[in-house]
Each structure stands twice: as C-alpha cells, then as structure tokens.
Structure 1
Amino acid sequence: MNAFRCLRVASTSSCALLRPRTSGTVAVAATAQRLSTPSRARQISLLSPRRPLVPATYSPPSTLAPPGSSSSFANPETLDLVGRISAHPALGSTQIRCGPRDTYNPSHLVRKRRHGFLSRLRTKKGRKMIMRRLKKGRWNISH
C-alpha cells in the first residue's frame, strides 16, 4: 500500500502539493463559479490592424450612382470625383480598392524588366513558364 501512495504523490504536480486541500463541496462551488463567469477576451491595444479600416463616419459620395444601377451616361463631375478619391487627404488612411493609379509607364525597358527572360528566370513560376513554352515549341519564349 505504501508503494501506491508514493506513486500517487510522485505523479501529482508540485503546485497541487503546496495548495491546501478543500472539502469536496467547496471545490465544486469554486469550479462552478469559475465556469459561470464569462472570460474576457484579451485586448491588444499596441498592435494596429493589418489594413486601415474605413471610419464609421464615412459615407459614400452622393454624386456617384449606386453599384447595382446601370446608368448609360457618366457626367464629367462624377469622373473627376472618382480620380480624386484616393488623393483626398481625409481619406488618406482608408483603403481604396481599384482606385486610379499613375503607374503605367509604356517603355520598352519597363516591359523587359517586368516580363523579360531574365525576370522569368528569377522566380520559380517564371522558370516553369519558360519550360512550358520551350516544350510547346514556341519561337519567342518571353519578351
């Protein structure tokens, strides 16, 4: 019997040995109280969200047509406003998807840099594309 008692003491954690024992009804009541109190979610205030969020006070411009409507004409005021959405300082922190970008640069060097042979060799997907075109017998492998 003493051997079983030693095994039981060795298997319990050191925290359980140091904690005073309570009666069965007190332990059940403490467990029920812990389970009944709602656990609060941890608030992380130091980390900012990955993407900026649209503020709650933001309302879409009234001059634009609703997304579901199909207007056959677009007046110049609406077209001019769409170009200024992402440039407006008040909306600088919001995320505007599919907004106008001034990144198109139609030059031979830029085309070669983005879609050229050396650019294709740098990435795994580009190398696979070159191999597909070689297998197929394409005369031009890339730009």
Structure 2
Amino acid sequence: MLCLRCSLGLGAVTKQSNGVKTARNVVAQMTFASFTPLRPTIFPSAFTSSLRSPLAPPPSSTSAAATEAQLDLNILPFKPTTHPAMEAMQIRCAPRNTFNPSHFVRKRRHGFLARLRSRTGRMIIKRRRAKRRSTLSH
C-alpha cells in the first residue's frame, strides 16, 4: 500500500494499476489530520482541499467583495509566485510549529550558557551588563 503522500499523487509513482487508482480515489476523498512539517516548504499542500469546508455559506455582508477575494486566494492550490523547480526548497524565517513550553527548552535556547556559546550571545550579555540589568538571561 502506498503512503499518504504517494497516494495523493505527488509524482512518486508514474504507472499504477486499476486497483491502486481506485484506492487512491478513496484515500483522496477521506479526511485526514495532518501535521505540518517542522520547516515549511514551498510546494503546494495536498491537504488544503480537505481542510476547507465544502459547505461554507456564501458571504452576505457589505464587505462581500473583500470576502470573495479572500476566498479566491484560499482556493488557489499554491502561491502564485512559486516555481515548480523550487518546490523542494525550504522557506527560511517562516513560522514553525516547534513551540514547547518547558523550562528546559527555554533554558537551552535562551539561557546563560547558550548565550556564552555564540559570539552574538556574548554580545547580548555584554550589552545587558553595560545597562546593569538584574537578569542577564533566562
């Protein structure tokens, strides 16, 4: 059996039998919970169609034109500025879903010893000492 990505047709399998094609159609109609990757990529998401509600009510307010424009942008399968050759590239400086609210992770990322390890961290500690901050870091 193919994995979820392969069954949604991201180009991994070129020749398929009839049984696999029907299984692919069944899987494409099912709704799955998806986890976003740790680093966002440029390629179009296969799950956007399953996440959108097919029974969305039509806009009935004074800002109907703005709402329709927003819906049109949501219907697009990918960003208009993307290029197929760049679909495997990672997007830098994008929001990620890696927030872990624990003291250990906070200390590891922003703690005093983490600041001492890098040049910019040492500069941060020097600036905070110059301002006579009571807390130099976490």
Both proteins in one fold, TM over 0.5: no
Query: What's the TM-score bracket when you normalise by the shorter of the two chains?
Result: 0.3 to 0.5
**Structure number with larger C-alpha Rg:** 1
Greater relative contact order, per chain length (Cα 8 Å cut-off, separation 6+):
2
* TM-score (structure 1 length as normaliser): 0.35
* TM-score (structure 2 length as normaliser): 0.36
